[in-house]
Amino acid sequence: MTITHRVMLMSDPATAWDLSSRGEAMRMISEKMDAATQGSLDAAFAAGRLALRSASGRMSTDDVAHDLLAIGVAAGRPAARRARANAKRLSRT
């Protein structure tokens, strides 16, 4: 939904120089950078928790697998949250 709306908005020659199109493009870039930064920080914190827990020596192989999955989820959560918010916002316009 979000990609379709933005591609149509930015590929239309009539709106190529429109301020709202440029504003949407800048918003898209800044949101992606913010989500990537937040995702990498969240993943780093989750990796730190894994390292601390593994240093104690009381982790099973299942715990390691769950913590590795938690790192991936933490990395992707901000981008998924932004995509849902954008789909909701752009469906109203």
Residue 65 has a pLDDT of 94
CA nearest 9: which of 17, 21, 27? Answer: 21
Residue 16 has a pLDDT of 66
Q: How many residues does the chain have?
A: 93
Give the ranges where 1-93 is alpha helix by DSSP (H). 2-11, 19-55, 61-91
Residue 42 has a pLDDT of 97
Q: Look at phi and psi of residue 60 and say left if phi exceeds 0, alpha if psi is from -120 to 50, else beta.
A: beta
Q: What is this structure's pTM?
A: 0.74
Residue 12 has a pLDDT of 74
**10-residue averages of pLDDT along the chain (93 residues):** 72 73 81 94 96 90 94 96 86 72
With vertex at residue 68, the alpha carbon angle to CA 65 and CA 71, rounded to the nearest 5 degrees, is: 150
